[in-house]
Amino acid sequence: MKRMNGVWLAALASATLIFVIEPRVHVGQTQTLPAPTVDNVRFPSGYQASYTLLYTFDNYQNRQIRKVYGNPIAASVTPGQVFNFPYGSIILFESYTVLEDAAGEPLLDRDGRFVPNALTTIFVMRKERGFGADYKELRNGEWEYVAYRPDGTYATQPSGSGSCALCHLTGGSLTLTPQSRNVGAQWDYVFRPDLYFSRGSGAVPDGVLQHYVFVPSTIHARPGQTVTVYNSDQILHRIVADNGSFDTGIMAPGASFTVKAGGDGTVISYHCVIHTRVKGQVVADLPPIRSRLP
């Protein structure tokens, strides 16, 4: 009960913050949000060579690909430390525009993933002792944020990074509570660590497994299409094809598996070997993408 109260209080506090801050965001944009005026983050030159690619996330809403990297300190974090990163942690994501079709829908490669077009921005967050105090009520642990262009110039200056802190604070308040085991002195939230620790694919989901049910239970796909299903349940599952063609192994929450649809009209059925009533299928019954040229 205490935990529930904590969750609600945190959500309420966050909602209040958003309510209070939102007009300032609209009127003065990020300049009115409290933020550091000095770049303590600094552009991480050469990160491609020394950082670890943690996961790649296809952002359907923003038509972006986000490739998330961690420096060796951040990449060494275990699931038990995920919301309490050590000082010296640097996490960044490369933001790519994606290739789209004539209707503005993202094109998908053979694995059902977005296809990068151009690297536009590198968003960097860095945790050091005492960082983040300038965000005041928006503070999210001891992180500070800056966005750079690929050439190292600013896409979002430190003084405009209040919106970054706000977003992380909101995400943390919806997910974490003061009673959360790994929370530090203040919120210490990063987005989607499950994609890294559970090896979720980061593809746009075609289905999820939640509350012991595949939703949807039947995925309609085009022949040959790769579909991605996430374990959004709070327990372990292990999915195998009825015909034995695949076996996911134990899937932690946040993990995903993919199924390549067969030829026109074929059905691939699967089930959880731990929870035998958990059943789903992929039916290749959608029409192919048909075009005419010239």
Integer Cα distance of 47 and 50 in angstroms: 5
Residue 228's φ and ψ, nearest 5 degrees, are: -120, 130
- Report the candidate in 266, 242, 247, 244 with the shortest Cα–Cα distance to residue 258: 247
Supply the minimum distance, in Å, between the C-beta of residue 99 and other proteins. 6
Q: Residue 294 interacts with other proteins (CB under 8 A)?
A: yes
Preceding amide of 294 cis, omega within 30: yes
Q: What whole-number distance in Å separates Cα of residue 225 and Cα of residue 233?
A: 25
Residues in binding contact with other proteins, number by CB under 8 A: 22
- Does residue number 99 form part of the binding site for other proteins (CB under 8 A)? yes
Tokens for 17, please give them: 């913050």
Interaction of residue 103 with other proteins, rule CB under 8 A = no
Q: Is the CB of 184 or the CB of 224 nearer to other proteins?
A: 224
Candidates 112, 160, 202, 253: give the one binding other proteins (CB under 8 A): 112
Site for other proteins in 207-266 (CB under 8 A): 222-226
Asked if residue 101 binds other proteins (CB under 8 A), the reply is yes
Neighbours of 103 (CB within 10 A): 5
By CB under 8 A, residue 109 contacts other proteins: yes
CB of 255 to other proteins, least distance (A): 23
Residue among 2, 26, 110, 277 that touches other proteins (CB under 8 A): 110
- Cis-peptide into 216, omega within 30 deg: yes
Nearer to other proteins by C-beta: 69 or 114? Answer: 114
Q: With CB under 8 A as the contact rule, which of the stretches 130-138, 161-169, 270-278, 284-292 interacts with other proteins? A: 284-292
Which residue in the set 107, 174, 267, 274 belongs to the binding site for other proteins (CB under 8 A)? 107
In angstroms, rounded to a whole number, what is the distance separating the alpha carbons of residues 226 and 259?
6
- Tokens 């939230």 locate to 189
Q: Is 115 in the site for other proteins (CB under 8 A)?
A: yes
Closest CA to 188 of 131, 122, 123, 253: 131
Neighbours of 122 (CB within 10 A): 22
**Least distance to other proteins from the beta carbon of 291, Å?**
6
Binding site for other proteins (CB under 8 A): 99, 101-102, 107-112, 115, 222-226, 288-294
